[in-house]
Amino acid sequence: MTFTEKLNDILSARKSLLCVGLDAVMEKIPAPLRQSPEPLFQFNKAIIDATLPYAAAFKINTAFYEAWGLEGWRALEKTFAYLPAEVIKIADAKRGDIGNTSLSYSRALFTGLGADAVTVNPLMGTDSTAPFLQDPQRGVFFLCLTSNPGSQDFQHFSDGQVRLYEKIAVKVGEWNRHGNCGLVVGATHPAELQGLRSLAPDLPFLIPGIGAQGGDLENSVRFGLTAQGGGALFNSSRAILYASSGDDFAAAAAAEAKATRDALNRAKVS
């Protein structure tokens, strides 16, 4: 089974398009947890337990853990190990370098952490991305049109015929020989999302920006799904993780995850 097949099976089985982003910021973790021996992991564990009924995937941004050295990496390992097999586990690492370096990155993320998928910067080209694509069961979401305001600086560059993000989408389609390529496309670009889905009708999309970044949820669902009604994960991080800073943080996260899942499903059928 390819990564894309696994993703679509999970979307169908869990009846959810939601990806919960575990971007744990130490300073925002409730004070009692910050005093525990493993604050990052204990926070993640509570969030996972609370939001699991509503999620199809979890995306862990490795930077928030790498910043804490060995303690942070141990929290990463324990978080990936704690996530159950019935959800997609994404290492949001945005790697990409020359071949040998990318091979080591892929080993660290796929073998070391046990990620089902990773995020990769495609700008160094085919030789830098190929090491991530060797296993059809491991997915790679390539940065294409990101949700941040600075995406306008380079990703919209045009040679008069196509924009850079369109070129990336076409090239990633060519790399998709093993059925394990996808694109990162922000919900803050709903109009462009429609065009990208036309260029890449079958590639999975990882769509951030529907939460705190204020992306267009309804149109992102409308334009982001494949013709079969799948092929997309919609990530929300801060809006779920920090729905409350009090003792009820896990219950508040669960309520926000449920509301987001339900909103995505309503948009899917509207």
| CB-count exposure of residue 228 (10 Å: 0-12, 13-18, 19+) | exposed
**Looking at 94, 167, 258, 268, which residue is catalytic?**
94
Element (H, E) at 250: helix 249-269
Residue 117: both structure tokens together: 């998928």
pLDDT at 47 (0 to 100): 98
Residue written as tokens 């990633």? 172
- The bridge status of strand 181-185 relative to strand 88-95 is unpaired
CATH number for the domain that contains residue 111: 3.20.20.70
Please say whether the beta carbons of 250 and 50 come within 8 A.
yes
| CA dihedral angle for residue 124, residue 125, residue 130, residue 136, rounded to 10 degrees | 110
What is the per-residue pLDDT across 65-111, written as a single tens digit (0 to 9) for each? 999 999 999 999 999 999 999 999 999 999 999 989 999 999 999 99
89 is catalytic: no
Question: Angle, nearest 10°, between helix axes 190-199 and 217-224?
Answer: 10
Please say whether the beta carbons of 38 and 7 come within 8 A.
no
How much is the pTM? Answer: 0.96
Please say whether the beta carbons of 235 and 92 come within 8 A.
no
Residue 237: both structure tokens together: 């991080």
pLDDT at 152 (0 to 100): 87
Number of domains in the chain: 1
pLDDT at 212 (0 to 100): 64
SS3 breakdown of the chain: % helix, strand, coil, rounded to 5?
50, 15, 35
**Residues paired with 208 in a beta bridge:** 235
Whole-angstrom distance, CA of residue 162 vs CA of residue 103:
31
Residue 71, CA atoms < 13 Å, CB-side half-sphere:
9
Question: What parts of the chain have a pLDDT lower than 70?
Answer: 211-212
DSSP code, position 28: G
The domain containing residue 219 runs over which residues?
A: 3-269
Whole-angstrom distance, CA of residue 75 vs CA of residue 77:
5
Give the number of other CB atoms < 10 A from CB of residue 258. 18
